[in-house]
Structures are given as C-alpha cells and as structure tokens.
Amino acid sequence: MRIIKAEDYYSMSRMAANIISAQIIMKPRCVLGLATGSTPLGIYSQLIEWYKKGDLDFSEVTSINLDEYKGLSGDNDQSYRYFMNTNFFDYINILKENTYVPNGLEEDSEKACREYNQIILQSGGVDLQLLGLGNNGHIGFNEPGEAFEKETHCVKLAESTVKANARFFADESLVPKEAYTMGIKSIMQAKKIVIVVNGEGKADIVKQAFFGPVTPKIPASVLQLHNDVTLVGDQEALKYIEGL
Ligand code: F6R
C-alpha cells in the first residue's frame, strides 16, 4: 500500500484528484468507481475546476457508484444519485447515461443487485475505485462482520452508520435503514483503489484498518490484500502512522 500524507484537507483532495485525473488522461475511456460522503467533496470540486480550465475531459468516462439508500429516488436530496449529480456530474461533461448508481427505487433487492453486478461486468470492470472510510471501518456500506466474498447486495445499516448519516437528514427517523452496496468482492476487483481519509476522528480506525489484522470486523482491512491501493490522508488522520 502506498501512503500519501497531505498537509490538510485541501491538499489531500488535490493529491487524490491528481491520481484520478492521471487515470482519465492515460485512459480516457475509463471506468471510475465513485463514493459519496463528506471526504470526497474536495476531490470533486478540484476535478470540476480542472475540467473548467480545459485540463480534463470526462466525455468518455463511465462512473459506477458504490452504493445507494434503498427506498430513495434520485430526486430525493438525500439520495446518493442526487449527491453525485449536484456535487459533480452536473458540472462536468460526463454523459449522464454513463453514470451508474444502484436503483434505490427497486424494491426487489435481488433484482437490483443482479442488475448492478451486470452493469459492472458489462463496463469491463472498474479501473480506479475511490473510497472513503467509515468510522467503524466500513467501505461502501459493507459493515463490520460482512463476508468478504459478496458482490452487490442489500444491507441493513449498522446503528452507528445510521447515526453518522443522520446529520444529513432532518430527523434520524428519516435515515433509511437499508442500502444497496457493491460488496467487498466487487471493490477488490477494481484494478486500482484510492482511499481518502481526513480528520482526527479517523486516526484510530486508519491505524486498525491498515496496520492491524485483516478481519471482517474491520472491512477496510481487506484492502491490505489488494496489490494497488493508495491511501491519501491528511496529517490528522495519519497521526498514528509512524515513519511517514
Ligand atoms: C459513500 C460510502 C461510505 C463513505 C464512508 C465515509 O458512498 O460508501 O462508505 O465513504 O461512510 O464517509 P465520510 O466521507 O462522510 O466520512
């Protein structure tokens, strides 16, 4: 695993955005696996800025997002589809029909997941997967204890995740309790993985996930077994990592 220590959130975002833009420049028709959450927001702003300057072209890029709440439509301002449109896709020249997010409105979980796995397969696989890290070590919505061998599936969210996400909803009772997510197996099949972390609140889980044992109790720990992972973090999130 390559570890890049950045001065602060802005510089972490720039460094991760640099890796993503290198991917697009080297392979314009690439497949990006994308994440929502607060950590990647700075990356998306940076990529938008470079696009506006004429340095990046997304016209041939396909994007496949990690996850979506079950039960929310893309128009709901708390859905991950809405997040991606309003924080990224609406500002770049990616073709909307080439952007994929699991279908939150599909009630038949098995169908929703089967179709999403098909989309990943037909795209030729993810070239670069961007990940954030949950406070309990989750990646996507793969909560502690999930089997490593799953592809896209429906999950019941851990109470800590519902609580962490409640800040985005008017009331905790409105936070969906289930989601569709790419599984660990899908994530591990990406050719390249970039995981971004910032803030002191992530310092402890960063140490456990990347310097402790590989265990389903900390889903992100499985990334230690992938052969092309780059961890980009700010000083606070990497404060327990020595020798950087
Ligand atoms: C988002 C996702 C989640 C987040 C994680 C960290 O699509 O799959 O795993 O990456 O919850 O969220 P933030 O960045 O808000 O700390």
**Among 24-28, 130-134, 175-179, the least confident range:** 175-179
With contact defined as beta carbons under 8 Å apart, do 203 and 238 qualify?
A: yes
Strand order from edge to edge, sheet including 229-234: 2-6, 229-234, 192-197, 128-132, 31-34, 62-65, 99-100
Q: Residue 163 pLDDT > 80, yes or no?
A: yes
Given a contact cutoff of 8 angstroms between Cβ atoms, the answer to whether 33 and 119 are in contact is no
What confidence tier does 31 reach under pLDDT thresholds 50, 70, 90?
very high
pLDDT tens-digit profile of 32-49? 999 999 999 999 999 999
Average pLDDT score, the chain = 96
Catalytic residue among 65, 68, 103, 138: 138
Whether 153 is catalytic: no
Residue tagged active-site, from 65, 67, 165, 234: 67
Catalytic pick from 65, 68, 103, 136?
136
Atom of ligand 1 nearest to the CA of 37: 15
* 226 belongs to the catalytic site: no
Going by their DSSP bridges, the two strands 178-181 and 67-69 should be labelled as: antiparallel
The pair phi, psi for residue 202, each rounded to 5°, is -100, -10
Amino acid at 143: E
The whole-angstrom separation of Cα 116 and Cα 125 is 12
Average pLDDT over residues 133-153: 93
Higher pLDDT, 145 or 24: 24
Is 106 among the residues known to form the active site? no
Q: Which of 138, 200, 236 to mutate to test the pocket of ligand 1 (most atoms within 8 A of CB)?
A: 138
Cβ contact 137:211 at 8 Å: no
Question: Of 196, 192, 230, whose CA–CA distance to 33 is shortest?
Answer: 192
Residues ≥6 apart with Cβ < 8 Å to 182: 33, 64, 66, 67, 116, 120, 140, 151, 152
Active site residue 234: no
Mutate to test the pocket of ligand 1, among 36, 84, 187 (most ligand atoms within 8 A of CB): 36
Ligand 1, atom 2: nearest CA belongs to which residue?
A: 140
